[in-house]
Structure 1
Amino acid sequence: MSCPRTLPPARARRWRARLAGAVAVLVATSGAVATTSAPATAASLSGNPLAGAAGFTVVSYGDAELSNHEIEGSVAVGGNVSVRTGQGPYNLIHRAAGNGDYVLPTLGGTPVRLVVGGFDRASSTQSVRVASGGYTDAATQLGRMTIGSTTGVGIAGRGAGVCVQASTTTDCSGPVIEQSAAPQTVAWTVQPTAFDTLVPTAARDTMAQWSQGIAEGRLVGAEAVTLGSTAQPMNGVDVTLVAGKVNVLRVAAADFPSTDWKLRFPTVKPSATTPLVIDVVAADGASVLLPMETIGAYDAPGGSSDNNFARYMLWNIDQAPGSTVYLSGNGIVPGSLLAPSSTVITGLSGPSDTSADKTLIEGQIVAASLLLRNSGEVHHYGYAASLEIGGGEGGFSLRKALSGIAAGDLPDGTSTQFSVDYFLDGATTKAGTLTLTADGTLVAGPQDLPVGTEVTFREATPSAPTGTVWTGVTFSPSTVEIADGDDVEVTVTNSYRAAVGGFRVAKALSGLTAADLPDGDDTEFAVDYFLDGSTTKAGTLVVTADGTPVAGPTSLPLGTVVTFGEPSAVAPTGRVWTGATISPSSVTITADGQSTLVTVTNSYRDAVGGFSLSKALDGIDAVDLPDGGATEFEVDYFLNG
C-alpha cells in the first residue's frame, strides 16, 4: 500500500489568504463578471455541498470553453462561452449514453439548459446546439437558453426558439448558439441577471466554504482512508471504505498513478450513507491523472446506463486561488468536481499536451473557469450525499519554562507569576492576557477561536532575581494557526544569565610626559589585578603611555573585589620612578555590564647626587687650634666650571 504524502493538518492560514476579499474567479475579459465574497470565519454547513449549483451539470463562474464531445446535462457560465471543437455542432442534450433521471434548473418556472453571460463568437469554431435530445418529459427536461450580454452578436427566431448569431447574419450560420426545439422568444432570451439569479453570490460563497472546510479536514463524522498500492494500477488501486462514514481520501496530485489506472472498492462501495470525498491537493499547474475505470460502477442494479458510484463521490480540488489544474484520463470518471477557486482544464495533462484524453465525467462540475478539452462527454449525475462541515473552532494553552535559573531562584519560587498577552490576526491591541506560574502548569487560553485565526504572543519584561539578568523570552511555537478541535500547547521560555561586570585600566603619568619615555606613547606598562583579596594575581593587563583604556575581564560575578598592582615601570635616563597611584584603589562589581575605569598614575622625579668634605691637618694637631677640634674652616665649591 502506498503512503500519501504528508500534508499539512491545517490549511487555515492559506485559506484565509485565499478567501480574503473575494474568492478568485477567473472572469472573462469580456462578458459577465461573477464573484464570490469571502467568509469572515470558518462556516458550519450541512447538506449537499453542490446545492449552490442549482441543479446545473456544469457551473463556471467565469468563462467556459466547450471543446469536448458533448454534455448530457445543463450549463451555467458567468462569463463568455466559446466552442473550439473540430467536430460538428456541439450538442447539449438530455440523455444518450448516460442517465436521464434528472430535471433541469428553472428560471421563472421555465426549464433552462444553457445560461451564459456572453458568447465569444470570434474565438469559436463551431456552434452550440441546445437540443435537449433524449428527454422524456417536456415539462421538466426540455430546456431553453439565455444570454446576459448581446455584445457582438444578434438574436433571431429559429424554429420554435432562437439563434444567437453574428449581428450581420440572418440564416443562423457559422458559430452560433441555437435552441430551436423549445418555444422561447428573442426578448425572453436576453436575461442579464440569469446567472446571478440561478447561482447567486451567496451560493458561490457557500460552495467555496464547502471546499474550504473539506480542505481543512472539518467534515463531521469523517473517516480517513488511503490510496492502495499502485504497483499494478490496471488491476485496480484499492480504496477501502468504512460503512456508514464520510470517507475522506486526502491525496497529493503527484501520488496518483502516472499511467492508466482503475479504481476499486474491494469491500464497501460508495453510497448515500457511505460517501467518498477525495481532497486532491494540487499546486498551480498540477496534472491529475484520473482513473479510466471504476470497477463495479455499472454492476447491477444500475447496469450500463447508470453509474452506481457517481452520485456519492466528490473530487475537491484543493488549490490556491487563481491556480490551474489539468485533469486527464482515458476513461470514465465517476463523481462531481468541486473547484471554486481553480481554472479546470480537462483531457490534457499540461499546457503542451494536445492528446485530448477521453476523461468522460459523470457528475457535476463547479469551477472558477472551465476548459472542457477532453474527447469524452459530461453526463449529469447530481451529487446526492449529505455532508456536514464543523464550525471549526480551536484554541491554545501556555506553560512557563525557565532557562539559566531554577524556579527556586525566583522571588516567590514556583508560585512566581508571569503575564503573557496574546494577539489575534495581526492586531496590535491585545485580545487577552494569561497568567502563568514558574512551576510550568499548563494554562488554557480561549478554545473557541475560529479555524484560521492566527495567534501571536508577547510578554512584558519580568523582574530578575538578584545577581541575574533576564535575556528574553521565546515562544514555541511562535505563532499558532487555529485548526479545528486543536488545543495547541505553547511553551513560553524565559532565559536568564548571571549578572556580571568588569573594569578597564588606563595609564597616566606624573613628573614627565609620554614623549620622555623610550617608546613615547607606545611605551608599555604591565598592571596586575587580583580578585577577592588573593595574593596570587588573576591576570595582567598591558597598557600604553598614551592613556588608552584597556578592558579587563567583563564576566566577573557581582560582589567580586578587584585590586591592582604595578610590579615595575620603565624610567627614562635621568629620571626615577617613585611609584604608582591607583584610582580607585579597588573595584567592587555591583551591576550587570559594569566597566569601571581604573587609572594607574606613574610618578617620576629627576635622578640626583652630591658630595661631602672633611678637614685634615698636617703639621699640627686640632688641639693646637684656637678652638681646638671645633675650629671651623670655609671651603667654597663651584659647579660646571
Structure 2
Amino acid sequence: MSTTRRRTRTAAIAAAALAGALVVPAGLAGSVPAAQAVVPDTFNPFVAAGGYSIYVREDAFLGGSETEGAVAVGGSLSVRGDGGNYGVIHFAAGTADYTIPTVDGDPTRVLAGQYDSGSAGRLQISNAGTSDPALLGTLKLTQDDPLYGYFERGGFTRYRLAAAPDADAPPLIDIEALPWTDAATAEAATLTALPTVADYVEADMTWTYDEAAQCLADVADPTNGLAAFPTILENTGGRLVLTGVATDRPNVVEYQDIGAQQVQFDPDVALGPQNPLIVRVPAGTTVVNAPFGAEGDTKHYIFYDLSAVTGDVTIQPAVAGGRIDGSIYAPNVDLTAGGSPLDGQVLSQNLDITLGSGETHAYLFRGEVPCIAQEGSTTFDIVKTVTGSGASLVPSDATFLVDYVRDGTDAGELALPVGESVVIANLPDGTEITLVEVVPPDVPGVGWGTPVWSIDGVVQTPAPDGSVTFTVQSGTTISVGLENVANLVPPAPTPGPTPAPGPAELAESGADGGVGLFAALAAFVVGAGALGLTLRRRSARR
C-alpha cells in the first residue's frame, strides 16, 4: 500500500510512493509518518487527527454557528461572514470532557496553514467555558501571509489584513488568549517552528491512511471474525432496532442497511472502547443520511467509516434540522456536513460545514479497532555515504539520484541525501528491485569514482550498466548501501605564452604561403560542410 505524502527530494519521493509506502529521512518527515507500516494490534484511526475535534488535510470552510473543540486545517481556513463572529470555544452545550493539543509548547485552538484572505468572516478564538490555563488555546499558522498583520484589540491580539479599510473589517481572527505586547512578539508566538500542519497533527500516526483503510476493511469482513454484525430486529421506517450488538468487540453495520431516522439496540447495550459501532459506508456513496439521534455518551463510540470513499460526499441528518451523532472518518473525501449539532470528531480531506447549520461539539472518538498484521509485505532502506579525499568538498545538502525499478517497471527516482536513510515499505513478498545511480552531481574539484553497492553489509558486483538487483522477502528489511568515492582533482595547469616564430620559420612559412592559404580555406569549407551536416542530423533527431 502507499500513501501520497511528500528531481529534488520531493519528486523522487512522490514517484517512489507509487510503488511502495515511503518513509522519508527524519529531516523530511513532514506529513509522512516517521515509522510506516506499524499498525498496532488495536488502534484508533482518529489518532491521525492529533487530538483536534476537526482535522482537515487540505481546505476548510466553517459555516455553522460555532465550534466547541479545536480545529486543524492543513491548507486554507475560512468562516462564514453572516451572523456575527464565528466562535471557537471550549464548552457551552456539548461536552467539556476533552483536552486540546499543544503546538510548539502552546495550547492551541486553531492550527492552519493560512487564513483565507478572501474570507468574509470574523473568527473569534475565545476559549469560552473554561479558565484552565491548559485549555486557553491560541492561534498557530504555518505560513507567513504578507497580506496580514498583528494588531491590538481590547488588550489581546487581532490578526487582520494590514490594508483593511477599518480595524473591524473582515477577514480577521481575534486571539483572546494571546495578550498584546507588540506585533513582532505576536508574530513569533503565532508562526510555527515546523513547516506543515501535518507535522504536528499526524505526529503520533504510525501508519498510512491506506494501511488504516485495509485494517478497517478487514474488520468489516465477516470471515475474519474481528467484529460482530448486528441484525435488524425491527424496522418501522422511522425507527430501526438492532439485535446482536456485542460487548467485547466492535460492531459493524453497513450504511445501506440502516435507512432509518433513529437506531436503537435490543437489548439495550452500552457502547464503549471495546465495542464501538462502525457504520461502513461503501465506495461510490455521495450522500449519507445519518440516522443516530440519541443523547448521551454513545456518540464517543460511533463513527462513519468512509475510508473506502473518495470524491464529494454530503453527510446530513436523517431528519431535516436534526443532529448527527458520531464521528466521521473520511481522509480522502471532500466532505460537506452539517447537523444541529454535529456531535463527533471529523477527519476529511476538504470540509464544508454547511452554512446555517448548528454547532460542532468535541465528542472525540474513543473506541479501539483491531487490525490484522498485514503480512506478505516487506521493506528495504538505502543509505548514501560519501568517502575519499574530496569528501569535504561535497555540500552537506547534496542529493544523489537513483533510478528505481520494481518488477521490471520504472518506479521513478529516489533522491538520497548524504548520510540519511530513505525507506520503501509495504512491498509485496518476492518483489524484484533494481537500482542504478544516475550521474552524481558536479562538484568543483571532485572526480567521482565507481559507485560501491552493498546489501546487508556485503559488497555487490554490479551489472555492466552499474545496476544492482535483489528480491525482497516477507517479514524482512533489506539494508542497501551506496558509497560514492570523491577524489580530489588537482587544478589544470595554466598554459604559458606561445613563443613567437623566428625569421627562419617566417621565411619557410612565407615560401609556401599560397599553398598554405589554399589548404586552410579548403579545410574551412569542408569543416563548415561537415558542421552543417551534423547540425541537420541532430535537428532531424529532435
Q: TM-score, normalised by structure 2?
A: 0.58
State the match for 1:311 in structure 2: 300
State the match for 1:290 in structure 2: 290
Is 1:377 aligned with 2:368?
A: no
Could you give the per-residue CA deviations for residues 239-296 of structure 1, whole angstroms, max 9, x where no partner exists? 64112112222x25x4442xx600212222211232222221131x6111101513xx
Q: Which has the higher contact order (CA 8 A, sep 6+)?
A: 2
* Matched residue type, 1:146: K
State the match for 1:214 in structure 2: 216
Give the superposition deviation at 1:186: 3.3
Is 1:178 aligned with 2:174?
A: yes
* Matched residue type, 2:73: V
Paired residues of 1:346 and 1:359 also in contact (CA < 8 A): no
Is 1:117 aligned with 2:107?
A: no
Could you give the per-residue CA deviations for residues 572-615 of structure 1, whole angstroms, max 9, x where no partner exists? xxxxxxxxxxxxxxxxxxxxxxxxxxxxxxxxxxxxxxxxxxxx
CA distance in 2 between counterparts of 1:452 and 1:286 reads 32
State the match for 2:271 in structure 1: 270
Q: Which SS does the other structure have where 2:232 is aligned?
A: coil
State the match for 2:490 in structure 1: none
Could you give the per-residue CA deviations for residues 344-385 of structure 1, whole angstroms, max 9, x where no partner exists? 1113xxxxxxxxxx3532221111121111602211112222
Which of 371, 374, 392 is the equivalent residue of 1:389?
371
State the match for 1:444 in structure 2: none
Paired residues of 1:211 and 1:338 also in contact (CA < 8 A): no
* Matched residue type, 1:383: F
* Matched residue type, 2:125: V
Which of 129, 133, 141 is the equivalent residue of 2:128?
133
Is 1:341 aligned with 2:332?
A: yes
Paired residues of 2:250 and 2:276 also in contact (CA < 8 A): yes
CA distance in 2 between counterparts of 1:312 and 1:72 reads 18
Could you give the per-residue CA deviations for residues 459-508 of structure 1, whole angstroms, max 9, x where no partner exists? xxxxxxxxxxxxxxxxxxxxxxxxxxxxxxxxxxxxxxxxxxxxxxxxxx
Distance 1:165 1:111, change over 3 A: same
Paired residues of 1:282 and 1:325 also in contact (CA < 8 A): no
CA distance in 1 between counterparts of 2:35 and 2:104 reads 29
Paired residues of 2:138 and 2:178 also in contact (CA < 8 A): yes
Task: Please show how residues 80-159 of structure 1 align to structure 2 within 5 Å.
Answer: 80-122=76-118, 124-135=119-130, 137-151=131-145, 152-159=147-154
Give the superposition deviation at 1:150: 3.5
Two-structure CA RMSD over aligned residues (Å): 3.6
**Number of residue pairs aligned between Structure 1 and Structure 2:** 355
Distance 1:45 1:292, change over 3 A: closer
CA distance in 1 between counterparts of 2:427 and 2:278 reads 22
Give the superposition deviation at 1:111: 0.9
* Matched residue type, 2:55: V
Instruction: Structure 1: give runs of 5+ residues left out of the alignment.
Output: 1-14, 24-33, 299-306, 348-357, 396-424, 430-449, 457-641
Is 1:232 aligned with 2:260?
A: no
Q: Which SS does the other structure have where 2:189 is aligned?
A: helix
Paired residues of 2:139 and 2:175 also in contact (CA < 8 A): yes
CA distance in 2 between counterparts of 1:279 and 1:71 reads 26
CA distance in 2 between counterparts of 1:107 and 1:264 reads 40
Distance 1:39 1:385, change over 3 A: same
CA distance in 2 between counterparts of 1:77 and 1:119 reads 10
CA distance in 1 between counterparts of 2:97 and 2:354 reads 26
Bigger proportion of residues as helix: 2
Could you give the per-residue CA deviations for residues 44-72 of structure 1, whole angstroms, max 9, x where no partner exists? 55343322322111111111111112110
State the match for 1:427 in structure 2: 407
Instruction: Structure 2: give runs of 5+ residues left out of the alignment.
Output: 6-15, 20-29, 181-185, 378-404, 410-424, 432-542
CA distance in 2 between counterparts of 1:192 and 1:39 reads 21
Is 1:327 aligned with 2:319?
A: no
Paired residues of 1:59 and 1:76 also in contact (CA < 8 A): yes
* Matched residue type, 1:144: T
Give the superposition deviation at 1:167: 1.8
Distance 1:320 1:231, change over 3 A: closer
* Matched residue type, 2:366: A
Paired residues of 1:211 and 1:340 also in contact (CA < 8 A): no
Could you give the per-residue CA deviations for residues 86-107 of structure 1, whole angstroms, max 9, x where no partner exists? 3221111111111101111112
Paired residues of 1:50 and 1:383 also in contact (CA < 8 A): yes
Could you give the per-residue CA deviations for residues 73-130 of structure 1, whole angstroms, max 9, x where no partner exists? 00011100011353221111111111101111112332110011001131x2221111
CA distance in 1 between counterparts of 2:177 and 2:2 reads 46
State the match for 1:68 in structure 2: 64
Task: Please show how residues 348-367 of structure 1 align to structure 2 within 5 Å.
Answer: 358=339, 360-367=341-348
Percentage of matched positions with identical amino acids: 25
State the match for 1:625 in structure 2: none
Is 1:244 aligned with 2:244?
A: no
* Matched residue type, 1:324: D
Could you give the per-residue CA deviations for residues 138-192 of structure 1, whole angstroms, max 9, x where no partner exists? 2122111112223232222333432221121361422211112443633211226
CA distance in 2 between counterparts of 1:256 and 1:79 reads 35
State the match for 2:522 in structure 1: none
CA distance in 1 between counterparts of 2:326 and 2:427 reads 29
Q: Which SS does the other structure have where 2:306 is aligned?
A: strand
CA distance in 2 between counterparts of 1:43 and 1:292 reads 30
Paired residues of 1:233 and 1:262 also in contact (CA < 8 A): no
CA distance in 2 between counterparts of 1:239 and 1:177 reads 48
State the match for 2:161 in structure 1: 166
Distance 1:377 1:16, change over 3 A: same
Paired residues of 1:163 and 1:172 also in contact (CA < 8 A): no
Q: TM-score, normalised by structure 1?
A: 0.49
CA distance in 2 between counterparts of 1:380 and 1:166 reads 30
* Matched residue type, 1:159: G
CA distance in 2 between counterparts of 1:204 and 1:118 reads 26
